[in-house]
Amino acid sequence: MDKMTIPRRHFLVGAAGTVCTGAVVGSGAGSALAQDTALPDYVAWKEPGAFIQHSENTLETLRGEIGSVVTPNDLLFVRNNLPSLTEDDVGDPEAWTVSVEGVSDPREITLAELKGLDVAQVASVLQCSGNGRGFFEHETSGSQWLTGAAGNVIWTGVPVASLVEALGGVADGVQWMTGTGGESIPDGIDPLSVMVERSVPIAAHEQALLAWNLNGEPLPLAHGGPLRLVVPGYYGVNNVKHVKRLAFTEAETQAKIQQSGYRIRDVGVEGAPDQPSMFEMNVKSWVTQPLMDASSGRVLVMGVALGGTEELATVEVSTDSGATWSEARFTGPDLGPYAWRSFVIATDLEPGTYRIASRATTVGGASQPEDFPPNHRGYGHNGWSAHAVDVTVS
Amino acid sequence: MACIRRGLLGGVIAIALPAVQVAAEDLGKQIFLEGSGDMPACAVCHMLSDAGSEGEIGPNLDKLMPDEARVRIAVHDGVGVMPAFGEALTEAQIDAVARYVASVAGQ
């Protein structure tokens, strides 16, 4: 299970005179809790042994476990900013209400009513903004995710566009769609300091859903049940869990998670509203097999690739650290622009060591860079070099 | 990845007098329990048995058992929805609270 490449940073900082305490070198788990720690109760239904536990609220799917077209619920990563709601908190899921504001006919609407309004399915990649953080060489706060804060899932819910239409359309001057999570914030804390409330540009509402179902099952609480705002093509943080309020607003929310959190800036710079926010995902791919060893001869190199918000055009694979590239073939169905596609290429490898990389390109021509520039909080890494794996063929 | 940079500072800490260390530990616990200026106490949001705190907004620090570096960077830069306190606290205060949490978490 322990098939990870060691981020180069492990070597570099080691050489620079740094003591890495408790780092399980080779697992890439870094400061994660030990991998054999039992899963926390609220996710006890997940596959034991398939995750790296970075904290109680952050579980990373092992690289070798996510190769299929759709990521099953019990293998899907977990990343909760605040502790997940419990069944007691939620009560009867059908009676869950969301307050819709900034429309002609604002009102509270129950999950049961939403289910009767309209329905659609969307396949989309759910990916944490910090997926790949562990590949950056500078020191960053937060979970040191490598590849496993991502999954490809199928959501069922009501299109936000249908809901807006049913409520008479959005008010004039609206620029943002703002979702608010239902976690309660204890007295004595300024709610804006820790609440999960995110605004996305209003155009994103056209593809958004209020979803109650994940891969054919009622949306688990750990993933934001009973109702979650899903914004296909956008990083995980914008997909507000336990959504209680959906507001069409003229301004972005004042919540810290929007104003200074999840902003891309140079290393050493504080977060501020004028920096790019973690909205649309970028093009990315990574190999999921082989990860460490292979037998010589015919070796199938497989992986997954996403275009962010665009269809993919190609995925290329290199077995020589990027010196030469060959086009891989997509396997499985095309589930649309927001989903990932699995790919394969058959190689013929003699005994030796190989650095295997993949590089995806969208129909619009966006392509993964060799290196992704460092940013303070370690967001958005899609550099193909850091995502490459070192494989020994014998 | 939790790494502690070895350097001049490490040397200084190593030769610090025990009395100074005790004071730093007190300071760390005080910040944890009371915060500083506008900054709310860590205790409001985090569970840590040594401090007797039962906050449930952030991870239970007894279970997380973070090392000093992980606490320091979380407090300085923020993490996800936890705000950065690099402005509200001095480096010495951050060091003190990081050392305190790392030394008592999980006990």
Each domain of chain A, given as residue ranges in start order, spans: 5-79, 87-259, 284-393
- For residue B22, what pLDDT is reported? 53
Block residue for tokens 């500072």: B9
Read off the pLDDT band of A20 (50, 70, 90).
Answer: very low
Q: How confident is the model at residue A36 (pLDDT cuts 50, 70, 90)?
A: low
* Percent of chain A topping pLDDT 70: 91
Over residues A231-286, the pLDDT tens digits come to 999 999 999 999 999 999 999 999 999 999 999 999 999 999 999 999 999 999 99
Q: What is the pTM of this model?
A: 0.89
Handedness of CA A248, A249, A250, A254 (dihedral sign): negative
- Candidate from A26-40, A170-184, A263-277, A316-330 with smallest mean pLDDT: A26-40
Q: Cβ contact (<8 Å) for A188 and B3?
A: no
**A105-109: Cβ within 8 A, 24+ apart:** A105/A167, A105/A168, A106/A167, A107/A167, A109/A163
Q: Which residues of B are less than 8 Å from A376 in CB distance?
A: 77
Nearest to A197 by CA among A126, A257, A128, A242: A257
SS3 category, A352 = strand
Contact B1 A20 (CB under 8 A): yes
Q: Does domain A284-393 have CATH number 2.60.40.650?
A: yes
Residues from B contacting A (CB-CB < 8 Å) are 1-7, 40, 44-45, 55-57, 59-60, 63-67, 69-70, 73-74, 76-84, 86-87
Flag whether pLDDT at A354 surpasses 80: yes
The pLDDT value given to residue A186: 84
Q: Could you identify the residue written with the tokens 């891309």?
A: A264
State the CB neighbour count (10 A cutoff) for residue B7. Answer: 10
The whole-angstrom separation of Cα B6 and Cα B14 is 11
- Backbone torsions φ then ψ of A391, nearest 5 degrees: -120, 135
3-class SS string, A120-162: EEEEEEEECCCCCHHHCCCCCCCCCCCCCCEEEEEEEEEEHHH
Q: What share of chain B is helix, strand, coil (3-state, %, to 5)?
A: 55, 10, 35
CATH 1.20.1250.20 is right for the domain spanning A87-259: no
pLDDT in tens, A193-241: 999 999 999 999 999 999 999 999 999 999 999 999 999 999 999 999 9
Q: Which residue of B has its CA nearest to A10?
A: B1
Of B20-24, B35-39, B84-88, the poorest mean pLDDT is in B20-24
- Residue A181 in tokens: 């999570």
Is residue B62 a contact partner of residue B75, using CB atoms and an 8 Å limit? no
How far does the CA of residue A166 sit from the closest CA of chain B (Å)? 33
The pair of structure tokens assigned to B75 is 């407090």
- Give A184's contacts in chain B (Cβ within 8 Å): none
Check residue B18 and give its pLDDT. 43
Label residue B25 by pLDDT band (50, 70, 90).
low
Does the distance separating the beta carbons of A82 and B57 come in below 8 Å?
yes
ipTM above 0.85, yes or no: no
Other beta carbons within 10 Å of B14: 7
Residue B38 confidence class, pLDDT cut points 50, 70, 90: confident
Residues facing A249 on adjacent strands: A176
Q: Which residue has the higher pLDDT, A160 or B6?
A: A160
User: Tokens standing for A257?
Assistant: 């998670």
Q: Is the pLDDT of residue A2 over 50?
A: no
Judging contacts by C-beta atoms under 8 Å, the chain B residues touching residue A20 are 1-3
pLDDT averaged over chain A? 91
The amino acid that residue A299 corresponds to is V
CA distance B23 to chain A (A): 25
| A33 has pLDDT over 70 | no
Average pLDDT over residues B75-97: 94
The confidence band for A7, taking pLDDT boundaries of 50, 70 and 90, is: very low
